[in-house]
């Protein structure tokens, strides 16, 4: 088994808040990410896939094809968008980095399998110092 990671980037806006709470209470819970007028992050996404090396090509996966899937399923939907209101796979879900990583996993799992490899992990950097990793359920 061998692993390969493709990095992509997107910029998106969000707000973390519980609607029934006051702005003050949301600020206590979510900090600056609760700003009522939204704010943005420069997200960095790492998509890790695993499988066996093809004997002829020496490759695990066609990285161009992998990048195309990530662009189509994730980047086109999130880049320069508002995660709370514009991203279909995040509708009705708290726009945290944790939920974003889980949502991205579910978007990519099937199309990556169709490429002949398995999705191994999703890593999302919301900032230089904060990142989330998701390896699917049951691990
Ligand atoms: Ni934020």
* pLDDT by position in tens, the chain (length 139): 999 999 999 999 999 999 999 999 999 999 999 999 999 999 999 999 999 999 999 999 999 999 999 999 999 999 999 999 999 999 999 999 999 999 999 999 999 999 999 999 999 999 999 999 999 986 5
Give distance in angstroms: CA of 48 to centre of ligand 1.
24
Confidence at residue 138, expressed as pLDDT on a 0 to 100 scale: 60
β-pair partners for 132: 124
- Of 77, 99, 96, which is closest to residue 17 (Cα–Cα)? 96
Give distance in angstroms: CA of 102 to centre of ligand 1.
17
Give distance in angstroms: CA of 95 to centre of ligand 1.
9
- Catalytic positions: 33, 80, 126
Handedness of CA 81, 82, 86, 90 (dihedral sign): positive
Confidence at residue 57, expressed as pLDDT on a 0 to 100 scale: 93
HEC profile of 42-106: EEEEEEEEEECCCCCCCCCCCHHHHHHHHHHHHHHHHCCEEHHHHCHHHCCCCCCHHHHHHHHHH
Give distance in angstroms: CA of 33 to centre of ligand 1.
4
- CA 105 – CA 93 distance, rounded (Å): 15
- Of 100, 130, 95, 126, which is closest to residue 16 (Cα–Cα)? 95
């Amino acid at each position: 088994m061998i692993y390969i990671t493709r990095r992509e980037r997107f910029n998106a806006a969000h707000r973390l808040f519980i609607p029934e709470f006051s702005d003050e209470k949301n600020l206590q819970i979510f900090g600056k990410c609760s700003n009522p007028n939204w704010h943005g992050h420069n997200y960095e996404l790492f998509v890790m896939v695993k499988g066996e090396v093809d004997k002829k090509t020496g490759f695990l996966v066609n990285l161009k094809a992998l990048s195309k899937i990530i662009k189509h399923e994730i980047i086109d939907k999130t880049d320069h968008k508002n995660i709370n209101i514009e991203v279909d796979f995040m509708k009705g879900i708290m726009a945290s980095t944790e939920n974003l990583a889980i949502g991205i996993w579910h978007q990519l799992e099937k199309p990556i399998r169709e490429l002949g490899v398995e999705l191994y992990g999703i890593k999302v950097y919301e900032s230089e110092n904060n990142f989330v990793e998701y390896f699917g359920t049951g691990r």
